[in-house]
């Protein structure tokens, strides 16, 4: 198969498997999505979805969040990990949203990346899922599968994102971002990988990857 045919097969398979695509992190608006994505760094969506209701019950807006202390925020979010950095980031970015953005999450990638504890991936997720702006945030699942499928070299996330944006149609970026994540979890995990279930990799996968499984 040519690279173009492989990309087409991957897209068509993902669309067949996930015609409706749930967003993994529970949220109600751009602010709660921003906080949830920030909390998900080096944690799991399941764990974050257990903690965010506790946090948002006390503070679901920047105005409410700054009424809490950093320590109060930390005590709630501690189970998701990295709580010292994340609690400080949540408190400080809430202040910045009020001081510079009228209490609203900016619809601008650079402005998002300037917020404390918000990196490129978090900002890209918010742009895609809150505002519908074409983005291709790369998480561990996407990074792994882009390598397994022979679409990127697997060395750097920045390169993986560039390759994804080059190979996939822009109008499909936001859907594919989520579809690949779900596929990675259900069919092509890092551990306990069953190639017979991983229909995409089995069909188009990098030969060096497939040989390791034999």
Spatial distance between the Cα atoms of 99 and 116, rounded to a whole number of angstroms: 14
Instruction: Confirm if 146 and 152 have CB atoms less than 8 A apart.
Output: yes
Q: Known catalytic residues?
A: 121, 139
Query: Which DSSP string do the residues of the chain spell out, in sequence order?
Result: --HHHHHHHHHHHHHHH-SS---SS--SSHHHHHHHHHHTTTS-HHHHHHHHHHHHHH--SHHHHTTS-HHHHHHHHGGGS-HHHHHHHHHHHHHHHHHHSTTS--S-HHHHHTSTT--HHHHHHHHHHHH--------HHHHHHHHHTTSS-SS-HHHHHHHHHHHS-GGGHHHHHHHHHHHHHHTS-SSS--TTT-HHHHHH--HHHHHHT-
């Amino acid at each position: 198969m040519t690279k173009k045919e492989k990309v087409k097969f991957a897209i068509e398979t993902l669309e067949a498997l996930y015609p409706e695509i749930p967003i993994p992190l529970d949220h109600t608006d751009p602010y709660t999505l921003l906080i949830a994505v920030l909390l998900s760094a080096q944690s799991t969506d399941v764990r974050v979805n257990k903690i965010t209701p506790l946090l948002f019950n006390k503070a679901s807006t920047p105005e409410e969040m700054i009424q809490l202390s950093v320590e109060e925020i930390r005590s709630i979010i501690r189970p998701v990990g990295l709580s010292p950095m994340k609690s400080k980031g949540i408190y400080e970015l809430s202040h910045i949203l009020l001081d510079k953005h009228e209490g609203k999450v900016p619809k601008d990638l650079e402005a998002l990346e300037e917020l404390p504890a918000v990196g490129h991936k978090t900002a890209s997720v918010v742009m895609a899922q809150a505002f519908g702006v074409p983005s291709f945030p790369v998480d561990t699942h996407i990074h792994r599968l882009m390598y397994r499928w022979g679409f990127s070299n697997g060395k750097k996330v920045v390169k993986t994102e560039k390759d994804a944006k080059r190979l996939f149609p822009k109008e499909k970026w936001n859907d594919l971002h989520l579809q690949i994540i779900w596929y990675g979890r259900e069919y092509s995990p890092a551990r306990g990988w069953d190639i017979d279930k991983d229909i995409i990799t089995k069909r188009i996968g990098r030969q060096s990857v497939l040989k390791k499984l034999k």
